[in-house]
């Protein structure tokens, strides 16, 4: 089908964009999904400087690279989260400010609104990101969690994200939530509840990432088939579970990459995700957007992994058939 193969730059923000673009072009990528941190895509400058977006396009054009989305995961996380010291390390100073939790929530919401305005100026149709969640810590229901506490969490999500989605609607931009643990939606049924909470408004959909579903025991293909009209962007990322009788699915408070964890992210093709079935499902829903590699593998050199991943994604992407395989048997069509 020749979908564009892109690299999400979030895990590469330690590299200057010019260096990264040159490297990824050399590996055969068609474009980049630009993270809104580092120098890759600066939202504040995009909305305040008349020529910023043009210059950013020129920077990509120099290497014949496209861009179909930008990503505001870090600021998005702080919209609904209960803010603590962890957030200081991921947020820009303009959002963290004095660290007052309510102020951080408000400034994060404004930053996501500005991401929509920046995307409109930059000419991309999708902003990917996180929402955060005020109820993630209630996942295991002990002490017993009254249903109202969960309902209140989804109401808070709607109260904070509806005004953000108003701006996305005004700008003609879609928001793709990466369904992910620690977000308001982390599996099929919580994603459905999030859509219900926000009134199924068109601006709000999903950045499909199979890796976060796989280790939870969810078939990623089922997610695509459950939300065929809400897949606004696709991440290609792999994961593997290694439940050997000692490891646990909750990760045991052990860092990524450690063999004692019950699951880890892997470079595409090196884990348990069935990418062929995902491509078939994406063909069924007529998804024609980019396949964006989010590269995370603590056990592999990232440059090796990036180049290999590009080749892998090209090898698994194929167009649907435009004829029935048995049509040649029909005498009327001969």
Q: In this structure, what DSSP letter does residue 66 have?
A: B
- The candidate with the shortest Cα–Cα distance to 60, out of 97, 90, 33, is 33
Give 327's pLDDT tier (boundaries 50, 70, 90).
Answer: low
> Residue 213 class from Cβ within 10 Å (0-12 exposed, 13-18 middle, 19+ buried)?
buried
**Whether pLDDT at 34 is above 70:** yes
Going by C-beta distance under 8 Å and a sequence separation of 6 or more, which residues neighbour residue 180?
Answer: 130, 186, 209, 212
pLDDT at 293 over 70: yes
Q: What is the mean pLDDT of residues 6-10?
A: 98
Tokens representing 252 are 């045991």
The DSSP code for 292 is: E
Q: Of 99, 100, 109, whose CA–CA distance to 78 is shortest?
A: 109
- Per-position b or e across 101-134, b if 16+ CB within 10 A of its CB: eeebbbbbbbbbbbbbbbbbbbebebbbbbbbbb
Say whether pLDDT at 195 is over 90: yes
Average pLDDT, whole number, for the chain?
96
Report pLDDT digits (tens) over 55-78. 999 999 999 999 999 999 999 999
Mean pLDDT, rounded, for 261-279: 98
Q: What is the pLDDT of residues 173-194, one digit of tens each?
A: 999 999 999 999 999 999 999 9
What is the band of 105 on the pLDDT scale with cuts at 50, 70, 90? very high
**DSSP, residue by residue, 185-232:** --SHHHHHHHHHHTTT-TTEEEEE-HHHHHTTT--HHHHHHHSTT-EE
Q: What residues form DSSP beta bridges with 204?
A: 175
User: Cα separation of 329 and 334, whole Å?
Assistant: 8
What local confidence, expressed as pLDDT, does residue 328 receive?
Answer: 65
CA dihedral over 81, 82, 83, 87, signed as positive or negative: negative
Cα separation of 116 and 309, whole Å? 29
Determine if the pTM surpasses 0.85. yes
Residue 255: how many other CB atoms lie within 10 Å: 10
């Amino acid at each position: 089908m020749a979908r564009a193969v892109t690299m999400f730059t979030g895990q590469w923000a330690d590299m200057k964009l010019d260096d990264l673009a040159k490297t990824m072009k050399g590996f055969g990528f068609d474009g980049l999904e630009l993270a809104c941190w580092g120098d890759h895509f600066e939202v504040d400058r995009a909305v305040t400087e008349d020529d910023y977006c043009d210059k950013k396009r020129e920077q990509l054009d120099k290497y014949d690279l496209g861009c179909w989305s930008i990503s505001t995961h870090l600021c998005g996380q702080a919209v609904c989260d209960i803010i603590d010291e962890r957030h200081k390390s991921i947020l820009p100073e303009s959002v963290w400010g004095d660290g007052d939790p309510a102020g951080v929530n408000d400034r994060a919401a404004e930053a996501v609104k500005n991401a929509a305005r920046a995307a409109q100026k930059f000419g991309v149709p999708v902003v990917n990101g996180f929402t955060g969640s005020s109820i993630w810590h209630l996942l295991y229901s002990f002490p017993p969690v009254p249903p109202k506490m969960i309902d209140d969490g989804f109401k808070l999500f709607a109260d904070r994200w509806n005004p953000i989605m108003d701006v996305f609607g005004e700008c003609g931009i879609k928001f793709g939530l990466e369904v992910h643990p620690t977000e308001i939606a982390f599996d099929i049924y919580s994603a459905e509840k999030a859509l219900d909470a926000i009134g199924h408004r068109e601006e709000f959909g999903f950045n499909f990432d199979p890796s976060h579903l796989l280790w939870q025991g969810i078939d990623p293909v089922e997610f695509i088939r459950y939300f065929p009209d809400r897949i606004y962007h696709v991440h290609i990322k792999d994961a593997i579970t290694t439940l050997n009788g000692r490891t646990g699915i909750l990760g045991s408070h052990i860092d990524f990459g450690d063999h004692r964890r019950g699951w880890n992210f892997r470079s595409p093709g090196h884990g348990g995700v069935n990418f062929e079935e995902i491509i078939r499902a994406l063909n069924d829903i007529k998804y024609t957007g980019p396949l964006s590699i989010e590269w995370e593998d603590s056990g592999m050199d990232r440059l090796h992994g990036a180049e290999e991943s590009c080749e892998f994604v090209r090898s698994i992407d194929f167009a649907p058939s435009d004829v029935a395989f048995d049509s040649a048997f029909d005498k009327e069509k001969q």
